[in-house]
Amino acid sequence: MSFGLRRLFGTSIVRPFGSTRAVLRKFAAQEIPEDAVDDFEALSTEATTLPYAYRRDGETFGQLVRDYNHDLDPSDSSGPTVYGFDDQTEQVSPYRDPVTGQVRDGLTAKDARLHPLTREARVNRQQIELPAEMGKAINNHILLLRQPKVLRAKAAEYYVELRERNLHFAAETEADADAHIAAVFLQNYGSLYQVLHELRKRVGEDKFNPRRVLDVGYGPATGIVALNEIMGDSFEPEVKDAVVVGPYEMLRRAKLILSRQLAEYNGLEISKQELESKVESEDEDMEFVGEVMTKKIKIKTKLLQDIRSNEDRKYDLIMVTHQLLERQKFFPGQVDERVHEFFKRLAPGGHLVIVERGNPLGFEIIARARQVAIRPEDSISNKKIPAPYKKGAIGPDYHLRVVAPCSHHAVCPLQVSKPEYYSYGGVGKKLSFCHFQTEVVRPKFTSELKKGLQLATPWATPMDGIGIKGEASAGKGNPNARTYESANYSYLILERSANDEESLRRIEDQIEKEGQQNYPVGYSGDTPDEWPRVMRAPMCKKGLAIAEVCAPSGNLEKWHISRSSGKQDYHDARKLKGGDLYPLGAKSKILSNKNSDNYSEQLQRKEKSYKKVVKKAKKDVAHERKVQLYEAQKIIDEEKRAEHMAKVLDQEFMSQPSMKKRDPKVYKY
């Protein structure tokens, strides 16, 4: 009512303190003009600029905001705009083509919202999936031949030993080979697929086509399997060698798994339609479950148990999975020796891919291999200039460059060179290490494996190998299990430069011009080769995203990207993931406190104290052992003395023959 009175008598009327009845009583004494009612009614039908709250009662909801024809006038921008249903359906997203409706850039509309450089800098975000035919072959022809209980027990034993060693190891028996495939093949496949996908993206999809390939690993030629999936069915290199470190049974299983990929057959031997019809025929009545005669299978990949001794054979792509270290006590000497063997077999222009576990020891192996390759401590510049390989046995025309994950050629800011540092109590837990993660869809054989008390329930301790009784859910299977597995890995991609005269001259010129230059803190890079690498998903707050990146300056840096940095920068920064490159700007860039130099003094003090403790423990053990040896020797001496005294008494007794005559009954022999 008060709104209507204001419209009648002007907006200058202020409602006094008190009830509405008192206000009405006040205005009832005033005389209302005759034409006031007509003006009031006209106001309810004509277009008005008054807010909906000031309008007359009885207006519909659509009129409360604005009159439809009046408010859709584009020349009127005095208030909110209302769109009808037809207008909404006819509109086209600015990120889609107005004619076809297809997304302009990227795979989805979310990708199209990103900056083109951000899309180029991203790693693979899709969940990796093992081909269905391959998963079916592993399940029907390998794992179902064993009792599930035995297979789970073997897999649990593998996990326990893996936790103890911190390193993968070769299978010894046929049962161990099956347990290896069931337990870790899927994660190793996902890690290699992700790394090879990035290599292909950085080199260029049209340029990446290795003609000679070598894969070395404990599994069933996992690197070749991942490479075939990335390159497609038409991938036909000249040489495909796969070294399977382990028993002969693992080679047979590798042959069976590879036979499910079309890239392993010549075009005249089998077609895609024939392969699909073969799989469909197996599904018609009942799937065949049983052993397959692998001798009759012919594939392109040459399966070996040892690397060829001929060092003259060079490869354009070498994939090394968990092969640089067998035991932690052999670090770093074994890493240096083995990585040198692979460098000798890398062709000019070729790539070496090294994949290790995503734990501190795996990272230190990768960091050591990188150090051996480019010797960053001997260089002044942190730019990614191909570094000469210092091992003289190969030759002076050998230069290496880090393709990924590093954006610089400086000393690794996270490397501590001693894996035991990570176990040094509080300071060891503060140390960061370079590792990444990807997701792999679980096939049927992995879901079936991780059921029951042994693998579907938590263990009391990591070394138990069996779940806690009573923790298993009712019914069969693992109802709360995820449909995917997370694979953690550390990796390194190295590229050998071409060794022709022009390439060597270009490298020498680059070293001469830029060999003394350094990128400062906060430098973002001009090319994908120098863009900062995001270590983990950024910490997002209201209006701010904080990303930890390994920057071209050779340091771990924290970049703060706020709304004031720009709408596009802020949007893209909040969508980052560990492993991505970040090509856009930031509000501020500072050094991170996670650089290993910040902990060097604490680690050295901790190492000295540990050495003292170990030395004292060794002394105590040695002293205790000496005491035990002394006591044992004392007992032995007493026994010998007693034995000697017994012999003396016997001799004295036997030297008195008269005793026999006196009492022959007693001394009867």
Q: Quick check: helix, strand or coil at residue 477?
A: coil
pLDDT cut 70: percent of the chain above it: 77
Distance from CA of residue 170 to its chain's centroid?
22
- Residue 663's pLDDT band, with cuts at 50, 70 and 90, is low
Which of 625, 663, 631, 529 is CA-nearest to residue 583?
Answer: 529
CATH class of 132-496: alpha beta
Give the E-state strand segments of 508-592 in sequence order.
Answer: 533-534, 539-541, 544-550, 556-562, 588-591
- Residue 669's pLDDT band, with cuts at 50, 70 and 90, is very low
Question: What pLDDT, on the 0 to 100 scale, is given for residue 13?
Answer: 45
- Higher-pLDDT residue of 41, 121: 121
- Higher-pLDDT residue of 297, 36: 297
- Higher-pLDDT residue of 85, 143: 143
pLDDT at 28 over 70: no
For 17: left if phi > 0, alpha if psi spans -120 to 50, otherwise beta; the answer is: beta
| 544-550 and 556-562 beta bridge pairing | antiparallel
- Higher-pLDDT residue of 478, 569: 569
Residue type, position 439, single letter: E
Rounded Cα–Cα distance for residues 365 and 325 (Å): 8
Residue type, position 413, single letter: P
Question: What pLDDT, on the 0 to 100 scale, is given for residue 37?
Answer: 46
pLDDT at 519 over 70: yes
H-run or E-run covering 595: none
pLDDT tens digit sequence for 84-110 = 666 666 666 666 666 656 666 666 778
Q: Tell me what the mean pLDDT of segment 580-602 comes to.
A: 92
Q: Quick check: helix, strand or coil at residue 248?
A: helix
- Residue 338's pLDDT band, with cuts at 50, 70 and 90, is very high
DSSP letters, 144-193, are GGS-HHHHHHHHHHHHHHHHHHSS-----SHHHHHHHHHHHHHHHHHHHH
- Residue 487's pLDDT band, with cuts at 50, 70 and 90, is very high
217 DSSP β-pair partners: 244
For 554: left if phi > 0, alpha if psi spans -120 to 50, otherwise beta; the answer is: left
The count of other CB atoms within 10 Å of the CB of residue 126 is 10
Q: Tell me what the mean pLDDT of segment 25-30 comes to.
A: 55
- Residue 605's pLDDT band, with cuts at 50, 70 and 90, is confident
Rounded Cα–Cα distance for residues 321 and 40 (Å): 84
Which of 422, 341, 410, 448 is CA-nearest to residue 599?
Answer: 422
Query: Considering all CA atoms of the chain, what is the largest pairwise distance in Å, rounded to the nearest integer?
Result: 168
Rounded Cα–Cα distance for residues 342 and 333 (Å): 15
- Rg of the chain in Å (alpha carbons): 38
129 burial type by CB count under 10 A (0-12 exposed, 13-18 middle, 19+ buried)? middle
Rounded Cα–Cα distance for residues 4 and 38 (Å): 14
Token digits of residue 114: 């990103």
Helix, strand and coil percent figures for the chain, each rounded to 5: 45, 15, 40
Q: Tell me what the mean pLDDT of segment 463-479 comes to.
A: 69
| 588-591 and 556-562 beta bridge pairing | antiparallel
Rounded Cα–Cα distance for residues 263 and 300 (Å): 8
Average pLDDT across the chain, whole number: 82
Question: What pLDDT, on the 0 to 100 scale, is given for residue 664?
Answer: 53
The half-sphere exposure of 316 on its side-chain side, counting CA atoms within 13 A, is: 14
- Residue 222's pLDDT band, with cuts at 50, 70 and 90, is very high
The count of other CB atoms within 10 Å of the CB of residue 636 is 10
Q: Tell me what the mean pLDDT of segment 555-582 comes to.
A: 94
Which of 389, 384, 383 is CA-nearest to residue 403?
Answer: 384
Question: What pLDDT, on the 0 to 100 scale, is given for residue 74?
Answer: 52
Question: What pLDDT, on the 0 to 100 scale, is given for residue 63?
Answer: 53
222 burial type by CB count under 10 A (0-12 exposed, 13-18 middle, 19+ buried)? buried
Q: Tell me what the mean pLDDT of segment 277-295 comes to.
A: 67
Backbone angles phi, psi at 503, to 5 degrees: -65, -40
Q: Which of 57-66, 94-103, 111-120, 194-203 has the highest mean pLDDT?
A: 194-203
Q: Which residues contact 466 (CB under 8 A, 6 or more apart)?
A: 156, 453, 454, 459
Token digits of residue 110: 């979310």
For residues 383-404, b (16+ Cβ closer than 10 Å) or e, as one string? Answer: bbbbbbbeeeeeeebbbbbbbb
Rounded Cα–Cα distance for residues 18 and 1 (Å): 15
Question: What pLDDT, on the 0 to 100 scale, is given for residue 271?
Answer: 53
In Å, what is the CA distance from 579 to each residue of 319, 392, 491? 20, 34, 11
The count of other CB atoms within 10 Å of the CB of residue 151 is 25
